[in-house]
Amino acid sequence: MQHFPHIELSNRLKIPILGLGTSHHGGYSHDAVVYALQQCGIRHVDTAKRYGCEEALGKSIAESQVPRDDLWITTKLWPGDYGYQSAKEACRASRERLGVEYLDLYLMHWPDCAVPGRSNRDVRAETWRALEELYDEGLCRSVGVSNFLIPHLEELKEDGSVMPHVNQVEFHPFQQPWQLVEFCRSEGVAFEGYCPLAKGQALDHPLIVELAQKYRCSASQICIRWSIQNQIITIPKSTKPDRILENCQVFGFQLEDTDMAAMSALHDGRHVFGFTLAEEDMESIGRLHVDKKLIHLSYPLWNG
């Protein structure tokens, strides 16, 4: 069974550079997760309270019989639980659902907070203080954020005492926020990318198809290899065991510099991430564009 390379965080912990993402609305398969852990060498699994599968993941981990110390488990704090005390309670609840005594990485899921009468910055700072204490107590071995932009990170640097260990953001050939990546790296914040296949939109791009033929691999492997070769922590999602195995087989080849450059030229700024929220979630997530209850998250909308 193969062992994946790691990225060292600012606190010297090592996170596997390749993990398995999960999601809501059919984005979780018990059998697929057990297969990934037992047969593919996956040791890094990403989830969130919002996805509704923490308890299911806990059962999959238990069935896999992979020792807890060998695993890297990430989950996320939903904005509806932001605030000092509520964040601590939410962390405890996530740990209980997952059946673990500690989390390897706990992330604030979004920068927008939408607490009436309070600024986003104040709520982020208060919430971050709770995460810092959870980190100091060892209940979270590392703490971080997701979907934060440079201004949000600059504010946390001023308001907190620990910089996030990780920032998890959409990253794929069509969405390459290199200014954010470089800022994170300059501040010791590891960059983690989700949606590495652009929700399948990258798989039929002519260049990627051509490279797949050249390297005798799949289009998904080209995308994942490109992200990993850029030293981006990468968490492709799949509920199909054969696809998970395929996604893990990206360490036996290397893209040539000219092909890396060609892939980097595919950036067109598009975002592919979107999800459906209930009415109460709309209120808690804040200033987002609503179109028939489908929320498409767009970076310029995040402010304050």
Mean pLDDT calculated for residue range 53-80: 97
Q: What is the pLDDT of residue 114?
A: 77
Give the C-alpha separation, 251 to 260, whole Å.
15
Residue 152 is assigned to a ligand binding site: no
CA 80 to chain CA centroid, Å, is 19
- Identify whether 51 is a catalytic site residue: yes
Mean pLDDT calculated for residue range 205-209: 98
CB-based contacts of 258, cutoff 8 Å, min separation 6 = none
Mean pLDDT calculated for residue range 104-116: 93
Cβ atoms 6, 17 nearer than 8 A: yes
Cβ atoms 191, 214 nearer than 8 A: no
Give percent above pLDDT 70 in the chain: 89
Among 13-27, 172-186, 212-226, 255-269, the minimum mean pLDDT is found in 13-27
pLDDT at residue 284 tops 90: no
Give the C-alpha separation, 275 to 239, whole Å.
18
Q: Which of 28, 35, 51, 135 is catalytic?
A: 51
Cβ atoms 280, 97 nearer than 8 A: no
CB-based contacts of 141, cutoff 8 Å, min separation 6 = 13, 102, 103, 104, 105, 135
In DSSP notation, the chain reads: -----EEE-TTS-EEESB-EE--SSS---HHHHHHHHHHS---EEE--GGGT-HHHHHHHHHHHT--GGG-EEEEEE-GGG-SHHHHHHHHHHHHHHHT-S-BSEEEE--S----TTS-HHHHHHHHHHHHHHHHHTTSBS-EEEES--HHHHHHHHHH-SS--SEEEEE-BTTB--HHHHHHHHHTTPEEEEE-TTGGGTTTT-HHHHHHHHHHTS-HHHHHHHHHHHTT-EE--B-S-HHHHHHHH--SS----HHHHHHHHTT-------EEE--HHHHHHH-S--EETTEEE--GGG---
Q: What is the pLDDT of residue 274?
A: 57
pLDDT digits (tens, 9 = 90+) for 226-255: 999 999 999 999 999 999 999 999 999 999
pLDDT digits (tens, 9 = 90+) for 157-179: 999 999 999 999 999 999 999 99
Give the C-alpha separation, 177 to 101, whole Å.
35
Tokens, residue 276: 């459906």
Give the C-alpha separation, 109 to 95, whole Å.
16
Domains of the chain: 6-267 (3.20.20.100)
Residue indicated by tokens 């892939």: 263
Tokens, residue 222: 């080209």
pLDDT digits (tens, 9 = 90+) for 23-37: 887 789 999 999 999
pLDDT at residue 295 tops 80: no
